[in-house]
Structures are given as structure tokens and as C-alpha cells.
């Protein structure tokens, strides 16, 4: 190998190492936030009491768990559909069954979200509900800020 190739390989290894270090730093800084950080931010913006924050946290955790389960289930449909497509004939009822199972899981997530919103609504004071409605109506502030400067 020539010295040029050794130098190129060395440069590529340094760049790969820098990419790994950068990604690890990003995850350390931003990867731990999760749904809890959003709940704390929301509770602070609403001026929620500890019991209200507990309700917000419980509902966020329950919805995150339901969404995670549905996401895992939806990811498995790809391999199931691929198996069905690879056969000599397509079994239409099996395809419909695979899709229907996933749709029923999404319906469960939708029902869980509706229950959670009802519980949060019941836990908040009228003034807090008004603030929450305004936050939902206006959306995240960073998007509004980015559009204004674009």
C-alpha cells in the first residue's frame, strides 16, 4: 500500500471516530429527555400543582407505552407482509387479517389517548384548561419562531 492510501485510511478513521464521538455527545445531551421533560415543561407552563403534574406524568407514560407497543407491532407487519408476498399465491384474507390486527392496535392507542385527555381535562382548573387549549392551538413555539425567520 502506498503512503497516500495509508493517509486516506487514517483520515477516514479519524472522521469516523469524530462522528461516533459527536453522536455520543448528542445522545448524552439530548437523548435523556424523553416524555418526562415535556411533561415538566407543560406542567411549568400551566402552573400545575404536584397532584396535577402526577396525572400529566401518568397519562404521558401510559400513552408513550401504548404508542411504543403499537410501533413495535407495526414494525412486525412488514416482515409478515413480505412473507405473504413471497408465496406462490397471495392469500387476501391473511393480508386483511394482518392489517386488521394492526388497525385494532391503533384503535386501542386512540382510545387510550382519549381517556388520557379526559383525565387530564378533569384534573386541570378552568384557567389551566384555557392555557392548555391555547398551547395546543398555537403549536410548538420553535416552529413558529423558525417560520418567522425563514
As a whole number of angstroms, the distance between CA 118 and CA 62 comes to 14
- Of 23, 102, 34, 103, nearest to 65 by C-alpha is 34
- Give Cβ neighbours of residue 64 (< 8 Å, ≥ 6 apart): 34, 35
Cell of 45: 407552563
What's the mean pLDDT in 107-128?
Answer: 91
Res. 124: pLDDT tops 90: yes
- Residue 126: is its pLDDT beyond 90? yes
Share of the chain above pLDDT 70, in %: 69
- pLDDT tens track for 56-109: 999 888 888 888 888 887 778 888 888 888 888 888 888 888 888 888 888 888
Computed on alpha carbons and rounded to an integer, the radius of gyration of the chain in Å comes to 24
Domain boundaries, given as residue ranges, for the chain? 1-32, 35-138
Closest by alpha carbon to 106, among 80, 72, 83? 72
Nearest-angstrom CA–CA distance, 148 and 134: 19
Long-range contacts of 119-122 (CB under 8 A, 24+ apart): 119/55, 119/59, 120/55, 120/56, 120/59
As a whole number, the mean pLDDT across the chain is 79
Predicted structure pTM score: 0.62
DSSP letter string over 76-97? HHHHHHHHHHHSSS--HHHHHH
Amino acid at each position: 500500500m502506498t503512503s497516500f492510501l495509508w493517509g486516506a485510511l487514517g483520515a477516514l478513521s479519524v472522521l469516523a471516530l469524530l462522528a461516533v464521538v459527536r453522536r455520543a455527545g448528542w445522545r448524552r445531551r439530548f437523548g435523556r429527555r424523553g416524555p418526562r421533560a415535556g411533561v415538566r415543561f407543560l406542567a411549568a407552563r400551566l402552573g400545575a400543582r404536584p397532584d396535577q403534574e402526577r396525572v400529566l406524568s401518568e397519562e404521558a407514560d401510559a400513552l408513550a407505552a401504548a404508542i411504543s407497543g403499537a410501533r413495535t407491532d407495526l414494525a412486525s407487519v412488514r416482515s409478515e407482509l413480505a412473507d405473504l408476498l413471497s408465496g406462490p399465491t397471495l392469500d387476501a384474507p391473511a393480508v386483511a387479517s394482518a392489517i386488521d390486527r394492526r388497525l385494532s392496535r391503533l384503535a386501542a392507542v386512540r382510545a387510550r389517548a382519549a381517556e388520557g385527555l379526559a383525565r387530564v381535562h378533569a384534573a386541570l382548573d378552568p384557567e389551566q384548561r384555557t392555557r392548555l387549549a391555547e398551547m395546543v392551538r398555537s403549536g410548538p413555539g420553535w416552529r413558529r419562531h423558525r417560520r418567522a425567520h425563514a
